[in-house]
Structure 1
Amino acid sequence: MSRLLAVAELGQSIWLDYIRRDLVESGALERLIVEDGLRGLTSNPAIFEKAIAGSSQYDVSLAGHVRAGQRDPEQLVEVLATEDIRLAADAFDRLYRDSGGVDGYVSLEVSPRLANDSARTLSEARRLWRTVGRPNLMIKVPGTPAGVPVVRQLIAEGINVNVTLLFSRSAYRAVAEAYLAGAEDWLKSGGDPAKLASVASFFVSRIDTAVDAELAKLGSEALALSGQVAIANAKLAYQDYLELCASPRWQALAQRGVRPQRLLWASTGVKNPAWRDTLYVEALIGPETVNTVPPATLDAFRDHGVAARGLDQDVAFARTVMAAVERLGIPFEKITEQLAGDGVQLFVDAWAQLLQAVAGKRDALEQA
């Protein structure tokens, strides 16, 4: 059995954090679904920037849209991205239906420029949902303070949501509350509980990168925590999820057929070359969760990953790690807030670079 299929046996869905047109058109995505049990796909502005600006695969399609009179770079990017998203969603359609809507989702992000504007994020999310027109689409909305009410409203309207850029347990709990409230609103309006789907994307590796820089300033005792804080934080977030699932409020929804909003582990590529390259995947395998991995991490786990349930193991040690972080005076909440802001900015920068590259390609086509 593929090591990736073995993860599915333990209750976790592996999604791919990558998209490019040849992935679908070459049949590679279909092979990943069939042979490795891949169960979903995520995208973001940085991924599209590398795909569209960094290759010639989109040039024919781009030329056609330019000839048709489309000049606005933002509109051109959207049409190219939504073409990819539809292709990928169609590739996952059978899995989506066979799994009863549990898996088979493809995610598309609202423009990161709107991350702090609730009204415009909501409007854009609704528009993208209609434009793509696939039931197995998830709209990615950042878990910023402005994004949380958007999550509730989208769920209340039956629009699938991938809440992204979550770094702290407090941010996750706010998002989980939004999902509960949105699901309650959806049911009150007569909505079908089977049509609701959401994941909460909790970021991992960036936390270790930031915290380890602080640990390095504090000496040997602190350095002993290197590479452990992100995993500990994620394990405790999963405990928050289990506590929520045991609550009477959630049980009332579950009894009516609402599926849980699964935690999705994001940013699971290992940044430190001294560590095992499958570290975050192996440590965070557990039931009713998703791990979205970049291609290199997917290949590494297929080659030498160990599929074993670890997410709900050593929880007491995880609490000890986080207590030590607090005792050492590391401003963890401040770090996670900064990471969320930085994450938005990284996507804004990637979006700007993508628009610039597409505008340049458009100009070259018009002058040819």
Structure 2
Amino acid sequence: MLQRAPKADAGRFAALLKHGQSPWLDFINRTHTEDGSLKRMVEHDGLHGMTSNPAIFEKTMGYGHAYDAQIRKILAKHRVTAGELYEELAVTDIRAAADILRPVFDATDGADGHVSLEVSPLLAHDAEGTIAEARRLWKAVNVPNLMIKIPGTAAGARAIEQVTAEGINVNVTLLFAQDAYHAVLEAYVRGLERRLDAGHSISRIASVASFYIGRVDLLVDEIIDRKIAKGEGDAAMLKALRGKVAIANAKLAYEHWEKVMASARWKKLAAAGADTQRILWASTSTKDKTYRDVVYVEELVAPDTVNTMPLPTYDAFRDHGEVRREMVRDYPEAHRVLKQLAECGIDLKSVTDKLLKDGLAGFDEAFENLHKTLERKIETLA
């Protein structure tokens, strides 16, 4: 298990750290960084990392005036496109957050304390374009506790292998399906093997694989409710599956991770100093208000994992979250849940394919909207 750096006053988050799970925040905001809020979360809650994505940056950069002063300074020096402006603003935010999290990075010997910056979502199916952008962003930010976010598409997996071989930290995003997760874990292992074979050190290379939770239950539950309303299938079995599929799906990803970590192939890499690619539970807010608002935190506490929470879920867990036990490794039961889902006529692959497609489209839209907003900012502030 990786070494953690829990704080004496970390409260409920200390229980996660004790079990080997790192609490991260799925949020980044310039005001939040500058007013000391982020520093307090690191020092008092034991916050161990942060993630960002185009949708988050759209909300923070696109509205209000927090970025106006820097935009004016940039425009006073040279004319920029909306894309160039976005990148300069994002790099500033990521560096500032990375600086605040640097003590965690140092205390955990590089295992934690990372901040993630995503490649353009428009490159999701372009392996070579993703590799080039990952290299460029890695050099532009130039801090050791950066992770480059790459989507878990087929092209993304090819890029992940290459940039891992080059020693770049990667946060794989938008993972919903087992086969996609297996592919990116394999890509990470192959990247480390290539790097080791080339005679380079493989220590202090960090990676997480962001496996999405809440969105799975949201879509599956909608399908279940439609089937029940139409009188299709076994209503009792369908009702029993509500709110169960996402956690079962997550447990099977962890089962695969455990098998890979126990393999002779991985043990060879670990002996050479490799750090595991941890599973990061993403989309851990509950979409159905009848579910406990921190259920996806409480039920998925497992060693060598990360839980990245949106700010409302983070605040809710700080207020009333409970860690009663580690995640139950009832893998036969998880397999049974997914088998029953198929028996009810619900194809999980169709669900996860749609979620990936929708997730990529959502990031594309947010990225394009952000560029349009920054174009207007340029026109106004120039």
Query: Which range, TM-score by smaller chain?
Result: over 0.9
- The answer to which of 63-72 and 304-313 deviates more is 304-313
Task: Name the aligned partner's letter for residue 87 of structure 1.
Answer: A
Are 1:256 and 2:272 matched, yes or no? yes
Aligned to 2:6: none
Aligned to 2:231: none
Alignment of 1:181-192 (within 5 A): 181-192=190-201
Whole-Å separation in 2 of the counterparts to 1:145 and 1:116: 7
Out of 222, 228, 233, the residue aligned to residue 244 of structure 2 is: 228
Aligned to 2:5: none
Whole-Å separation in 2 of the counterparts to 1:130 and 1:365: 29
Aligned to 2:26: 17
Out of 103, 116, 120, the residue aligned to residue 111 of structure 1 is: 120
What's the offset of the Cα at 1:192?
Answer: 1.9
What's the offset of the Cα at 1:365?
Answer: 1.2
What's the offset of the Cα at 1:70?
Answer: 2.6
Out of 197, 202, 208, the residue aligned to residue 199 of structure 1 is: 208
Aligned CA RMSD, in angstroms, stands at 1.0
Q: Structure 1: give runs of 5+ residues left out of the alignment.
A: none
Out of 136, 142, 150, the residue aligned to residue 145 of structure 2 is: 136
Whole-Å separation in 1 of the counterparts to 2:79 and 2:306: 38
Q: Secondary structure at the match of 2:199?
A: coil
Out of 260, 273, 277, the residue aligned to residue 289 of structure 2 is: 273
Out of 92, 102, 109, the residue aligned to residue 100 of structure 1 is: 109
Aligned to 1:125: 134
Normalised TM-score (structure 1): 0.97
Give the number of aligned pairs.
366
Task: Name the aligned partner's letter for residue 241 of structure 2.
Answer: L
Normalised TM-score (structure 2): 0.94
Q: Provide Cα deviations, 1:16-38, integer angstroms capped at 9, x if missing partner.
A: 00001111111111111111000
Task: Name the aligned partner's letter for residue 259 of structure 1.
Answer: D
What's the offset of the Cα at 1:223?
Answer: 2.0
Whole-Å separation in 2 of the counterparts to 1:254 and 1:334: 36
Q: Provide Cα deviations, 1:93-139, integer angstroms capped at 9, x if missing partner.
A: 11101101110000000000111111111101100000000111000
What's the offset of the Cα at 1:313?
Answer: 3.6
Contact 2:19/2:326 (8 A) holds in 1: no
Aligned to 1:81: 90
What's the offset of the Cα at 1:216?
Answer: 1.3
Task: Name the aligned partner's letter for residue 165 of structure 1.
Answer: L
Q: Provide Cα deviations, 1:50-89, integer angstroms capped at 9, x if missing partner.
A: 0001221001001111111233000000000010000011
Q: Secondary structure at the match of 2:154?
A: coil
Task: Name the aligned partner's letter for residue 224 of structure 1.
Answer: A
What's the offset of the Cα at 1:167?
Answer: 0.2
Are 1:91 and 2:115 matched, yes or no? no
Are 1:175 and 2:178 matched, yes or no? no
Task: Name the aligned partner's letter for residue 63 of structure 1.
Answer: R
Aligned to 2:3: none
Whole-Å separation in 2 of the counterparts to 1:281 and 1:134: 29
Task: Name the aligned partner's letter for residue 244 of structure 2.
Answer: Q
Out of 305, 311, 318, the residue aligned to residue 295 of structure 1 is: 311
Whole-Å separation in 2 of the counterparts to 1:41 and 1:9: 19
Out of 5, 11, 16, the residue aligned to residue 14 of structure 2 is: 5
Aligned to 2:54: 45
Q: Secondary structure at the match of 1:195?
A: coil
Whole-Å separation in 2 of the counterparts to 1:50 and 1:217: 33
Q: Provide Cα deviations, 1:302-342, integer angstroms capped at 9, x if missing partner.
A: 11101133423433322221111111121111210111111
Whole-Å separation in 2 of the counterparts to 1:28 and 1:296: 14
Contact 2:152/2:172 (8 A) holds in 1: yes
Are 1:218 and 2:227 matched, yes or no? yes
